[in-house]
Chains A and B, each alone.
Chain A
Amino acid sequence: MSVRQLTINILLALALTTGAAVAEGFSDTPALAERVKSGGLPPVAERLPEQPRVVGGDTIGQYGGDLRISMARAKDTRMMTVYGYARLVGFDQSYNLVSDILESFEVEDARIFTLRLRKGHKWSDGAPFTTEDFRYWWEDVANNTDLAPLGAPIFMKVDGEVPTVEIIDAQTIRYTWQKPNPTFLPRLAGPRPPFIYRPAHYMKQFHAKYAEQPALDAAVKKRRMRNWASLHNASDNMYNFDNPELPTLQPWFNTVRPPQQQFIFERNPYFHRVDGEGQQLPYIDRVLMNIADTKLIPAKAAAGESDLQARNIFMSHYTFLRKAEEKKKFKTLLWNTALGSKVALYPNMHHKDPVWRELFRDVRFRRALSLATDRDEINQVIYFGLAQPANNTVLPESPLFRDELQTAWADFDPDKAEELLDEIGLDKRDKDGVRFLPDGRRLEIVIETAGEDTEQIDVLELLHDTWLDIGIKVFTRPSQREVFRNRIYSGDTMMAVWFGVDNGIVSADMSPGEFTPTRQIQYQWPKWGQYFETGGKAGEEIDMPAPKELFDLFRSWRVARSTDERAKIWQRILDIHADQVFSIGIVCCTKQPVVVSNRLKNVPREGVYAWNPGAHFGIYLPDTFYFANAVK
């Protein structure tokens, strides 16, 4: 993060906190007033931190109501951690990092991070939230050989080195690495953040170092766990909301033990955010999460049984939803998405057949495939013209975006494609017009799909025709997710079809990991990614110049010390991608329907529905959503 941006953030934090001081006297929901009166709960001023975070939606809201949402599986209770979006630092709606749970933070040299907590901040059970909770996680969990047999998690390491952790006082903690760690803060702001703290007061009852041995043994036996470590690990998941007893900092917490068909989330009476008038958030008292099969979720939304729903709803349901809008009193908004490409093809650089492997590694071949793809036609036929023909790269919303990234080698130009193929030496054809490989086999590519998305198969249908025109025959092979992946990993697959990059709205400070060979799940070069992920224990070393350069750029991005420097590296990475066509993106910028009840206010009409950054609804702060005429 640049110094300038940092100063802005600090100023912003100051402005917000002084704003809070002006709005004297905090208030809270009538739903809690009863408990305060009976003495079961301290008054709101004592429950809030001294300096709460002031946030605001478009309008000041009113308290009350139950927000109904539908999820596909009992496991999806975790989505409330995503939507709740209480993070140490979080992205605001313009994707700047701002402090949320933290009162403020300072970064020196991209490697020394000083985090300052809010004084008086409390867990959802009323126990104080202090640096002890950070210390407990770092010393007694992350570095405990029983709980973490493989040592501290990867995200805390920079080139294998762990930070020095200094606890300065009950509210201040400092992490120092020897080398820059630019991903630390963006990771903390992610939809599934690494939780570098735990409610120590609660977790200690499961920890051999703190708990009484007989009581701990009894608890292990009662829950049928193997040992205290598995009991601890099963109880301390801050992300999943699968343990109703675990204190949290999120706006709502789960009260029902999974698995169930309905989960009830109640408001966290100690939540640290207030609105502009000093009303403690969230406005909405409870969130009711109903579990229903994925195919029923659109139907439930259309029947008015969800107040806020985007998950498991797709463009293909749009007309159906619009039809039900009036009768069931909701609106269907269309939000942008962040996928770099809705559909992308991945030629496998590790294919087992040497002839094909050489071909896939030949940039001319990849360019020819891209040029022979009629993206416009696909957009018109399959996406009603609502998408946009594009490479698999960053989106216009990203500050790194340039037009040519999306359009390089992406025009429909079959003549040029044929020229390229002839140049490679694939100039002989059989009587059907299909070209021959150098060893005499026909040029037939099998494209595998995970068999889940019919849209991908439709795209391949159209692709089949235009590729056949330049002499390439396409076969489609649907399979099943795990098989699909394992075949790619082992080099059995020639080409795979999948989504494009997850995050097309990147900024220079976000990791270019998705664009460089650093992960096994990158379907064009899984073995190179695996090599990096496992520190060279598995996979293969990169043996192609352009991917090697991408990887080196990734390394230099990691140690870059300024945003400008990082932006330059990013541009080079994106240029290489556009030029080398490592994956063939088809269309981007599809829309996400979002069903919103007419009673639900403060939900932005236009937004970006993205996993990271964005946490789906998270950055729009659902705690500021409220029901008009809530008392029902």
Chain B
Amino acid sequence: MFRYISHRLLVMIPTLLAVSALVFIIIQLPPGTFLDSLIAELESQGEAADPNQIEALRAEYGLDKSQIEQYFTWLFGMLQGDFGFSFEHKRPVSELIGERLVLTFVVTFSTILFIWVVSFAIGTYVATRQYSVADNVATFLGYLGLATPNFLLALILLYLANQWFDLSIGGIMDDEFRNQPWTMAKAVSVLQHLWIPVIVIGTSGTAGMIRRLRANLLDELQKQYVVTGRAKGLHPRKLLWKYPLRVSLNPFIADIGSILPDVISGSAIVAVVLNLDITGRMLLEALRSQDVFLSGSFLMILSLFVVIGTLLSDLALAALDPRIRFTGGTTR
């Protein structure tokens, strides 16, 4: 066990290094640098940038150095906990990210919870009633959920919420609570707004999870032990809960590793559409304006979460299902 965990932890190091190099290269791929986007943006608003000032900025931001040099400066900085400096906001990246992490966690956590609860209920229900009307309806809705683009769903819910419940357009809370200390009213306002992003981000994950649970459960239900149990007159509910359901629950845990990146990247677009002050939105803006260190550090932190999330889900899975063994390269 200990060897397994330490092995996995060690493998993380080259993984994250590779990620950091990839991230840095991909961010730099679009032509131009932050300053070019800055100039383009100024011009689009009829403002002109002074060429001399641009040159001075280039030197100040270190953009005149080679890319390799920039990469290693960033990498060594990160090892010491310094994520670099955001060009756009003229502030250290760590400050900017820190401010947004709480809400990001709230949204991500609620979404995963939503996926679990909804897909467990629906998945179990439809698997035990294969090809019934309810199953077909749920299947249809599930495919719809998978196929509908998140931003569209977000816009529709936004409009309906505004029309029916008079919720403000966008935002994770009403405008008057922004920049206010946390109070009961503010928390209520957050809860009032939270359901839209949770549903939007969670829909496709839920739909996928329902399909997996249904398929797994159907497999189990046809196995010999279930048939035997049923023949022996075991109560149907007990028969369902005792073994097949538990076994088919594996994807709930095993999929954390894949849901997490899904939820996080899915939330970027949704955060823009719904105007949520979470990391996704800032990440997208930073990528657009080629704010290298801000977007790079964001992606690094998110990758770190994913890597750790995967490890945790593997451990939890092993704890849950005795059939699974640690064979991560340590045994022959």
Contacts and interface: CB of A to CB of B under 8 A. Distances in A.
B285 to A, nearest CB: 7
A226 B60 contact: yes
A300 B169 contact: yes
B55 interface: yes
Contact of A481 (B44, B158, B168, B179): B44
Given A292-B170, A293-B273, A296-B275, A154 B178 contact: no
Contacts of A261: 171, 178, 275, 277
A149 B53 CA distance: 9
Contacts of A533: 51
Interface residues of A, number: 50
A192 B282 CA distance: 26
A408 interface: no
B175 A305 contact: yes
B30 interface: yes
Contacts of A482: 30-32, 36-37, 40
B158 A611 contact: no
A74 B175 contact: no
B170 A192 contact: no
Interface string B43-61: 1111110111101100110
A103 interface: no
Interface stretch (A108-116, A252-260, A454-462): A252-260
B128 to A, nearest CB: 43
Contact of A305 (B40, B159, B168): B168
Contact of A149 (B40, B56, B171, B273): B56
B179 A259 contact: no
A433 interface: no
A303 B50 CA distance: 39
Interface residues of B, number: 43
Contacts of B48: 519, 521
A486 B31 contact: yes
Interface in A278-294: 288, 290-293
Interface in A134-168: 148-151, 153-155
A488 to B, nearest CB: 12
Contacts of B52: 150-151, 153-154
Nearest to B60: A230
Interface in A297-321: 299-300, 303, 305
A534 to B, nearest CB: 7
A586 B92 CA distance: 47
B169 A305 contact: yes
A485 B38 CA distance: 13
A299 B31 contact: no
Contacts of B272: 293
A218 interface: no
25 contacts: A74-B89, A149-B59, A150-B53, A150-B55, A151-B52, A153-B52, A153-B53, A154-B50, A191-B46, A226-B60, A233-B60, A234-B90, A258-B89, A260-B179, A261-B277, A290-B171, A292-B275, A293-B170, A296-B170, A300-B169, A305-B169, A480-B30, A482-B37, A502-B46, A533-B51
Interface of A: 68, 73-75, 148-151, 153-155, 191-192, 224, 226, 230, 233-234, 242, 256, 258-262, 264, 288, 290-293, 295-296, 299-300, 303, 305, 480-483, 485-486, 502, 519, 521, 533-534, 611-612
Given A150-B56, A261-B277, 11 more contacts: A74-B89, A148-B56, A150-B52, A151-B52, A191-B47, A192-B47, A230-B60, A260-B179, A292-B170, A303-B168, A482-B32
Interface of B: 30-32, 36-37, 40, 43-48, 50-53, 55-56, 59-60, 82, 85, 88-90, 92, 96, 158-159, 162, 168-171, 175, 178-179, 272-273, 275, 277, 282, 285
